[in-house]
Amino acid sequence: MKYICTLITVSDINKSRSFYENILECEVKYDFGENVTFHGDFSIHLDSHFKGLIDSKEITHGGNNIELYFEHDDVEQFAVVLEENGIELVHPVREQPWRQKVVRFYDPDKHIIEVGESMEFLSYRLSLEGMNIEEISKTTIMPVEFVTEAIKKFG
């Protein structure tokens, strides 16, 4: 068996496609009309069409029980884009217990989207704050080798 992609249902395929293309800078891989697949292998599927595929079972949105995760190394700057576009936040930028900056917000159908800085960039940022490699490894729970390579990559 091979995992292929995550599919979320949406009420307005054009509005959602625009959101993912313009806010999250996703590129369309395939467009099948009622189903659009983006590079990164996730798809949006029109509710009304998908409902027919699942024997007319009810489709609900906004359960806060799933999220799509993206990375962007300047989360603070990205949060400005969200504000400028009137995107509803789940919460503003915050640091997770392992110090990674993240922001969570809703797409047009109330699916949670998380944008966090990569763990590589986090390692580099913590090094700029004066932490040594061992401290960064302990804080982020990433191996020393990973932290060392991440700092080299950005440094």
CATH of domain 1-55: 3.10.180.10
Encode pLDDT of 115-135 as tens digits: 999 999 999 999 999 999 999
Whole-number percent of the chain with pLDDT over 70: 100
Q: Which sign does the torsion angle of CA 68, 69, 70, 73 carry?
A: positive
Instruction: Report pTM.
Output: 0.93
Going by C-beta distance under 8 Å and a sequence separation of 6 or more, which residues neighbour residue 33?
13
69: its two tokens? 């995760």
Domain extents in the chain: 1-55, 120-154
Encode pLDDT of 38-84 as tens digits: 999 999 999 999 999 999 999 999 999 999 999 999 999 999 999 99
